[in-house]
C-alpha cells in the first residue's frame, strides 16, 4: 500500500461493521461532508 501524505485524500476502503455488514468509506464522505476516523486499541 502506498504511503499517504498529509493533505492527500484517503483511499476508499471497505470496513466491516460490528453487525457483520460491510460498508465503503465513500458512502460517508463527499458532497461537502468530511469523515473523521478514530481507531481505538483493545487492551484486554
9-32 mean pLDDT = 84
Which residue would you say has higher pLDDT here, 40 or 21?
Answer: 21
Distance between CA atoms of 44 and 4, rounded to whole angstroms?
Answer: 30
Distance between CA atoms of 27 and 14, rounded to whole angstroms?
Answer: 10
What pLDDT does residue 44 have? 65
The answer for residues whose C-beta is within 8 angstroms of residue 9's C-beta and 6 or more apart is none
% of the chain beyond a pLDDT of 70: 91
What pLDDT does residue 20 have? 92
The candidate with the shortest Cα–Cα distance to 15, out of 2, 31, 29, is 29
What pLDDT does residue 28 have? 79
Q: 22-37: per-residue pLDDT in tens?
A: 988 888 777 777 778 7
Amino acid at each position: 500500500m502506498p504511503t499517504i501524505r498529509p493533505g492527500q485524500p484517503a483511499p476508499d476502503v471497505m470496513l466491516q461493521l460490528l453487525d457483520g455488514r460491510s460498508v465503503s468509506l465513500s458512502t460517508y464522505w463527499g458532497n461537502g461532508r468530511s469523515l473523521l476516523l478514530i481507531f481505538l486499541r483493545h487492551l484486554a
